[in-house]
Structure 1
Amino acid sequence: MTGRNTRARRALGVAVVTAVLGTGLVAPAAASAASAVSAAERDEAPPVLTTAPEAAAVAPGTLVLPHVVVTRADRLHTWWAELAVRHAGGTVVSSYPQVGVVVAYTAKDDFAAKVRGTWGIDAVGATRTAKVPVEFFAARKDVRYTGPGSPNSGQVPAEGTAWDAPALGLDAAHKVSDGSRRVVAGVLDTGVDDTHPELAGAFDARNSVSCLSGWADRSPGAWRPTLDGHGTHVAGTIAAARNGTGVVGIAPGVRLASVKLAELDDTETAESMVCGFVWAAEHGFSVTNNSYRSIPWRYNCDNQVDQAAIKLAVGRAVAYAQRRDVLVVASGGNAGIDLDTRSADTESPADSTPAPRPIDTSCIRLPHELPGVVGTGALDEKLVKASFSNYSSSRITVAAPGARVWSTWPGGLYRSASGTSMASPHATGVAALIASEHPRWSAEHVKRALYATARPLACPDPYDPNGDGKPDGVCKPAPAGNTFYGHGLVDAAAAVGAR
Structure 2
Amino acid sequence: MMQKLKRLVAPLSTVTLAVGLLAGAAYPAASAETPAGAMQNYVVLYKANGVSESSLKSVAAAGGTVVHSYPEIGVAIVKSDRAGFGPALKARDGSVQGAASTAALGVALGDSGADDAAQAPVAPGEPAPGNDNLSALQWDMDQIQAPAARALNGGSASVVVGDIDTGLDYTHPDLAPNVDFGKSVSCVGGVPNQSPSAWMDDNGHGTHTAGTIAAAKNGIGMVGVAPNVKIAGIKAGNADGFFYPEAIVCSFMWAAAQGIQVTNNSYFADPYLFNCKNDPEQRAIWEAERRAIRFAQQSGTTVVAAQGNFSDDLAHPTRDVMSPDNYTPVSREISNACAVVPVEVAGVIGVTANGNKGFKSYYSSYGVGSADVVAPGGDRRLQVTPAAVNGRVLSTWPASAPCAASLKVVDAGAAYCYLQGTSMASPHVAGIAALVVSTGVTNPGAVSARISGTADGVACPDTAMYAPFPSASNGAPQVCQGGTGNNGFYGKGQVNALRAIGG
Pairwise TM-score range, normalised by the shorter structure: 0.7 to 0.9
Q: Distance in 2 between matches of 1:477 and 1:402?
A: 22
Tell me how far 1:278 sits from its aligned partner. 0.3
Superposed counterparts of 1:82-161, under 5 Å = 82-117=56-91, 118-128=93-103, 131-132=104-105, 135-137=106-108, 158-161=134-137
Q: Over aligned residues, Cα RMSD in angstroms? A: 2.3
Moved more, 156-165 or 94-103: 156-165
SS in 1 for 2:99: strand
Please, which of 394, 397, 410 is the counterpart of residue 398 of structure 2? Answer: 410
- Partner residue in 2 for 1:483: 488
Amino acid aligned to 1:201: P
Please, which of 420, 428, 432 is the counterpart of residue 426 of structure 1? Answer: 428
Q: Which has the larger radius of gyration?
A: 1
Is 1:497 the equivalent of 2:497? no
Residues 446, 362 of structure 1: alpha-carbon distance in 2 compared, 3 angstrom cutoff: same
Moved more, 164-173 or 196-205: 164-173
Q: Distance in 2 between matches of 1:265 and 1:324?
A: 31
Tell me how far 1:314 sits from its aligned partner. 0.4
Tell me how far 1:171 sits from its aligned partner. 2.1
- Partner residue in 1 for 2:448: 447
Moved more, 459-468 or 443-452: 459-468
Q: Distance in 2 between matches of 1:455 and 1:127?
A: 41
SS in 2 for 1:201: helix
Tell me how far 1:159 sits from its aligned partner. 1.7
**TM-score (structure 2 length as normaliser):** 0.79
Deviations 1:140-187 (A, max 9, x none): xxxxxxxxxxxxxxxx98225421011011221111111001111000
Please, which of 282, 286, 289 is the counterpart of residue 264 of structure 2? Answer: 289
Q: Distance in 2 between matches of 1:281 and 1:428?
A: 16
SS in 1 for 2:197: coil
Moved more, 261-270 or 277-286: 261-270
Tell me how far 1:63 sits from its aligned partner. 2.3
Q: Distance in 2 between matches of 1:252 and 1:406?
A: 15
Q: Distance in 1 between matches of 2:443 and 2:273?
A: 31
Q: Distance in 1 between matches of 2:221 and 2:184?
A: 24
Amino acid aligned to 1:97: P
SS in 2 for 1:458: coil
- Partner residue in 1 for 2:147: 171
Tell me how far 1:221 sits from its aligned partner. 2.9
Deviations 1:289-326 (A, max 9, x none): 00012221111111111111101110100000010010
Amino acid aligned to 1:93: V
SS in 2 for 1:485: coil
Q: Distance in 2 between matches of 1:91 and 1:344?
A: 36
Superposed counterparts of 1:357-368, under 5 Å = 357-368=332-343
Residues 413, 205 of structure 1: alpha-carbon distance in 2 compared, 3 angstrom cutoff: same
Moved more, 272-281 or 104-113: 104-113
Tell me how far 1:80 sits from its aligned partner. 2.9
Q: Distance in 2 between matches of 1:393 and 1:336?
A: 14
- Partner residue in 1 for 2:230: 255
| Contact 2:185/2:199 (8 A) holds in 1 | yes
- Partner residue in 2 for 1:193: 169
Q: Distance in 1 between matches of 2:200 and 2:331?
A: 35
For structure 2, the residue ranges without an aligned partner over 5 or more in a row are 1-35, 111-131, 379-391, 400-413, 470-475
Residues 480, 112 of structure 1: alpha-carbon distance in 2 compared, 3 angstrom cutoff: farther
Q: Distance in 1 between matches of 2:98 and 2:468?
A: 49
- Partner residue in 2 for 1:55: none
SS in 2 for 1:464: helix
SS in 1 for 2:69: strand
| Contact 1:159/1:244 (8 A) holds in 2 | no
Deviations 1:343-386 (A, max 9, x none): 11111111111121111122111111111111100001101000
Query: Relative contact order: is structure 1 or structure 2 higher (C-alpha 8 Å, sep ≥ 6)?
Result: 2
Deviations 1:402-429 (A, max 9, x none): 0111000012310010110000000100
Structure 1 segments of 4+ aligned residues over 3 angstroms from their partners: 72-75, 135-139, 465-468
SS in 1 for 2:276: coil
Residues 180, 170 of structure 1: alpha-carbon distance in 2 compared, 3 angstrom cutoff: same
Q: Distance in 1 between matches of 2:304 and 2:415?
A: 26
Please, which of 287, 307, 320 is the counterpart of residue 332 of structure 1? Answer: 307
Q: Distance in 2 between matches of 1:478 and 1:357?
A: 32
Q: Distance in 1 between matches of 2:415 and 2:205?
A: 12
Tell me how far 1:125 sits from its aligned partner. 1.2
Task: Tell me the number of residue pairs that the alignment of Structure 1 and Structure 2 aligns.
Answer: 415
SS in 2 for 1:231: helix
Is 1:277 the equivalent of 2:252? yes
Q: Distance in 2 between matches of 1:375 and 1:264?
A: 25
Q: Distance in 2 between matches of 1:157 and 1:472?
A: 41
Amino acid aligned to 2:64: G
Please, which of 294, 303, 320 is the counterpart of residue 278 of structure 2? Answer: 303
Tell me how far 1:472 sits from its aligned partner. 5.3
Tell me how far 1:72 sits from its aligned partner. 5.0
Is 1:473 the equivalent of 2:447? no
| Contact 2:67/2:109 (8 A) holds in 1 | no
Please, which of 316, 321, 327 is the counterpart of residue 291 of structure 2? Answer: 316
Q: Distance in 2 between matches of 1:127 and 1:66?
A: 6
SS in 1 for 2:270: coil
| Contact 2:458/2:485 (8 A) holds in 1 | no
Please, which of 65, 71, 79 is the counterpart of residue 53 of structure 2? Answer: 79
| Contact 1:73/1:97 (8 A) holds in 2 | no
Amino acid aligned to 1:80: S
| Contact 1:287/1:326 (8 A) holds in 2 | yes
Please, which of 192, 206, 216 is the counterpart of residue 182 of structure 2? Answer: 206
